[in-house]
Structure 1
Amino acid sequence: GCFIASTGFLPSTFTMTALTAATAAMLHGRIGLTILLAVIGVVWGWCVAGAAFIPLAVFVLFSGHLPARIAALIGALIATGVPLLIADRVAYGRWTASLWNFVKYNVVGGGDSALYGVESPTFYLRNGIINLQMALPLALVSPILLAFAGMRVARHRLLLELNDRNEASKGTFWPNATGCDYFVTQRVGAGEYVDGSEYLDDYEKTHGFEYFANWVIPGRLMQGRYPYIEPSRCKSREEARKKLKTIVDAGIDTFVCLQDELPSQHDMPEEVLGFGAYKAPAIEFAGDSTPLEFYHFPIVDLNIPDTSVLRAALAELQQLLLRGRRVYLHCWGGRGRAGTIASTLLMQAYGLEAAEALERVQRSFSTRHDNVPLSPETEEQRALVRAFVRFDL
């Protein structure tokens, strides 16, 4: 039904396309475009289908900045209404408003419904089955399912404290969907749950690390810059050795490199493009008692990973954490590629939603006071996180 309707030259088809585009704009956070597309669908399309845009209108109202939203709505109405009036003037030879005439005839009264034929009330159900098929029963039961889901989330809200499984817990451990029995805990204080943002504020005070790296999961997963000699910020061997030793002394025993511009540490010569190989000095600092592991998942700088690379990286990182390894996840600056993989890992392994994962990575990254404020660094990388769907690993 929807597939066939998409090719039909009908007002409802135009409105359906506008609704789809408006929904996509909303999901990408482009509220102004959402308003414009919704108005286009109603004014230039099929105005009686305006009810379908009500959920978008509610979202817009509660998204903040109401004066700006109203201004955008007025602008969209003018931008669509004026051309429509001019088109009506040309078509009918006089000033009239076809949109209002349609509403007056069909909604306000005065029209004869028999013009379109007479159907029983079951027409809408039959028409819905034809057009929506399996989506219709799912839509009908969704309010009930969402109510139960909301009750469950309210009772077992997994806030943002991610801890070492060997660290004394201050709350009750909740295993996540993949069976990992560590990290996601529910903090309890004075009989009440601690708000996630308050915990992150406390995190910033207590878990800051260094200017070049930050803990995403304290004691478990660190996100940072290239850990040794690099072209921009760390050019001296003495400073590089100090930085690398700080990382190893923090308990890191696994290095995961995301740089496409470099070979694996296993194959890297002493220096490539101004980057110094760190495998040998890291092993030196760790000593014989701590065997180190090195992994490489190449991603082009300022870009997003291929699906195969993302899947492989998340699968390996999840296994590393299950094995109890302490991971240093890095690209060059430790912002874009590292932030992207860290965010999707929080979603894949611990079931966080995209907004929570992005907030977690951003707030922990901000403890570094980097000259670039965002992690993940580019809008394309953040969009990947928002669109990410967990792999079946």
Structure 2
Amino acid sequence: MNMVALNRRDRGCTDKDRANLNKPIENCYWVNPHLLASEYPGHQDLAKTRFHINKYLDSGLSCFIDLTQPKELEPYDLILSQESQDRNLATVYRRKPIVDYSVPSRNGMARILDTIQSDIQAGHKVVVHCWGGVGRTGTVIGCYLVGQGLSGEESLRELSQYWSTVGCLKRWNHPITPQSEDQFRMILDWNQ
């Protein structure tokens, strides 16, 4: 699938576009009007999970791509299903696990990016998340941006701009995205 040809129009949001999009939570950023990068929407407190899920649904998000490992965190997919049914919404939950601080294989990353692209083409607004929304999520979004026609360096600069819009406490604890050298390298080497 040629992601550059398919999505040149959706490469990214301008600052003005971003200001007009509803951020469901503080620690997330819009990549384009169809793609949101975020921290984990679940919580140990089920009431908080339900609250967060409803904020995502209020923002029009209908496809959730979870980059965490099974059993890494409290699952939220059943609450997503319940809240979606209560609202008569069709939502999709997909797990595409990546080990924390790590990167997937090149084929694994290509499959994740193809999934994002297919879901957007199917009319979904997609949210991609890991635990903190920093390392694994930043790596996927960085490679996505390279697939949209940016160089690896341009993608990292764009990620830095996006990251500047998340909550200040999150940025204090994690001043850059992604997190590991391997994650940076994957973005820089993507599509080479």
**Could you say which TM-score interval applies, normalised by the shorter chain?**
0.7 to 0.9
AA aligned opposite 2:57: V
Deviations 1:317-336 (A, max 9, x none): 11111222111101111110
Aligned to 1:255: 64
Cα deviation, residue 253, structure 1: 0.6
State the distance in 1 between where 2:47 and 2:95 align: 25
Aligned to 1:333: 132
Aligned to 1:305: 104
Cα deviation, residue 184, structure 1: 4.1
State the distance in 2 between where 1:382 and 1:292 align: 31
Cα deviation, residue 228, structure 1: 0.8
Map 1:1-393; keep pairs closer than 5 Å.
177-180=4-7, 182-184=9-11, 199-200=14-15, 202=16, 206-207=20-21, 209=23, 210-218=25-33, 220-229=34-43, 235-260=44-69, 262=70, 272-273=71-72, 275-287=73-85, 289-348=88-147, 350-369=148-167, 370=170, 371-389=173-191
State the distance in 2 between where 1:338 and 1:181 align: 21
Residues 337/277 of structure 1: CA separation in 2 closer, same or farther (3 Å cut): same
AA aligned opposite 1:336: G
AA aligned opposite 1:215: W
Cα deviation, residue 252, structure 1: 0.8
Contact preservation (8 Å) 2:49, 2:76: no
Residues 289/237 of structure 1: CA separation in 2 closer, same or farther (3 Å cut): closer
Cα deviation, residue 178, structure 1: 2.4
Question: Per residue, is there more helix in 1 or in 2?
Answer: 1
Extract structure 1 runs of 4+ deviating beyond 4 A: 202-208
Contact preservation (8 Å) 1:214, 1:368: yes
Contact preservation (8 Å) 1:298, 1:309: no
1:329 alignment partner, SS class: strand
Residues 289/319 of structure 1: CA separation in 2 closer, same or farther (3 Å cut): same
AA aligned opposite 2:41: P
1:245 alignment partner, SS class: helix
Identity of counterpart residues, as a percentage? 23
Contact preservation (8 Å) 1:304, 1:381: yes
User: 5+ residue gaps in structure 2?
Assistant: none
Cα deviation, residue 182, structure 1: 3.9
User: 5+ residue gaps in structure 1?
Assistant: 1-175, 186-195, 230-234, 263-271
TM-score (norm 1): 0.43
Cα deviation, residue 207, structure 1: 4.7
AA aligned opposite 1:253: S
State the distance in 2 between where 1:252 and 1:320 align: 11
TM-score (norm 2): 0.84
State the distance in 2 between where 1:359 and 1:325 align: 27
Deviations 1:6-43 (A, max 9, x none): xxxxxxxxxxxxxxxxxxxxxxxxxxxxxxxxxxxxxx
Residues 367/248 of structure 1: CA separation in 2 closer, same or farther (3 Å cut): same
